[in-house]
Structure 1
């Protein structure tokens, strides 16, 4: 199945509301409609012929210290995983960091689970972008909804207002597709 990429600003109907508001500031962002049942990375890549190392996952992290919880997003290639208990926790100066529960991530972002993306997150959230993503010519990420994907230059993700580029990924074990 082939993806039909168009400039993201031309198809706000394919984006979650916060993403549609923010995407105009992301240079080179394109969007393609997909089957929402195939939004999960492995299924999407297999069906649409996108390599896992061309796709990135965005996870919401809850960092806790002294009774305070702060949220951030981590963006890593699909072949890797975020070092939440090491690099991420230290960067967020937290005693404990973990993936935010699904319902909490959905409520706080205004995006659908399986489509959460760094574009359009709350303005005070830090977006931790792995260096592999920042160096990528074009990476496929969520669009805020399960029915589409964004394709964005890594440099544009590194240029997001609250982005911090660092080596936060651990190479994942290869997964059968």
Structure 2
């Protein structure tokens, strides 16, 4: 099955509310509707013939120092894993960093689990974009909802407010 890409501003009905508010501020974002049961990366890539190295995942991290918890998003290609306990923890100057619990990630972002994306995240969250993602001409990412995917340039992600480009692999 192939994907039918259209400008995201033309199909905001496919997006989570915070993402719909953010897409007009990012150049060239496209959206395609998908089967929500196939939103998880491996199933999506297999069904829609998208290579894993063309797909990027957004991981929400909870960084702790003292009694404070700060959240951040990490963007990595689906072929990679973010070094949350090393690179990410040190970059965020945290004593401990881990994947945020699903319920917290969903509540804090206003997005569906499995569709969380850096577009529309809370403004005070750092967005750590792996260099491989930032250099990519076009990556497929979540839309905030499981019923669609976004396509955006790596430069577009690197240019988001709060974005920082670094090597996230350990």
Tell whether 2:52 aligns with 1:55. Answer: no
Displacement of 1:26: 1.0
Render the CA deviation track for 1:30-56: whole Å, top value 9, x for unaligned: 000000000000000000000000000
Q: Give the SS at the match of 1:4.
A: coil
Separation (CA, whole Å) in 2 of partners of 1:17 and 1:169: 31
- Counterpart of 2:40 in structure 1 is 40
Q: Give the SS at the match of 1:60.
A: strand
Q: Give the SS at the match of 2:118.
A: coil
Displacement of 1:169: 2.3
- Counterpart of 1:144 in structure 2 is 144
Render the CA deviation track for 1:21-78: whole Å, top value 9, x for unaligned: 0011111100000000000000000000000000000010000001100000000000
- Counterpart of 1:173 in structure 2 is none
CA RMSD of aligned residues (A): 0.5
TM-score if structure 1 supplies the norm length?
0.95
- Counterpart of 2:117 in structure 1 is 117
- Counterpart of 1:83 in structure 2 is 83
Separation (CA, whole Å) in 1 of partners of 2:60 and 2:157: 16
Displacement of 1:97: 0.2
Q: Give the SS at the match of 2:123.
A: coil
Q: Give the SS at the match of 1:72.
A: strand
Q: Give the SS at the match of 2:81.
A: strand
- Counterpart of 2:167 in structure 1 is 167
Displacement of 1:140: 0.2
Q: Give the SS at the match of 1:117.
A: coil
Separation (CA, whole Å) in 2 of partners of 1:45 and 1:30: 17
Separation (CA, whole Å) in 2 of partners of 1:26 and 1:10: 14
Separation (CA, whole Å) in 2 of partners of 1:151 and 1:26: 11
TM-score if structure 2 supplies the norm length?
0.99
Q: Give the SS at the match of 1:87.
A: helix
4+ runs of 1 displaced by more than 6 Å? none
- Counterpart of 1:14 in structure 2 is 14
Corresponding residue pairs, total: 170
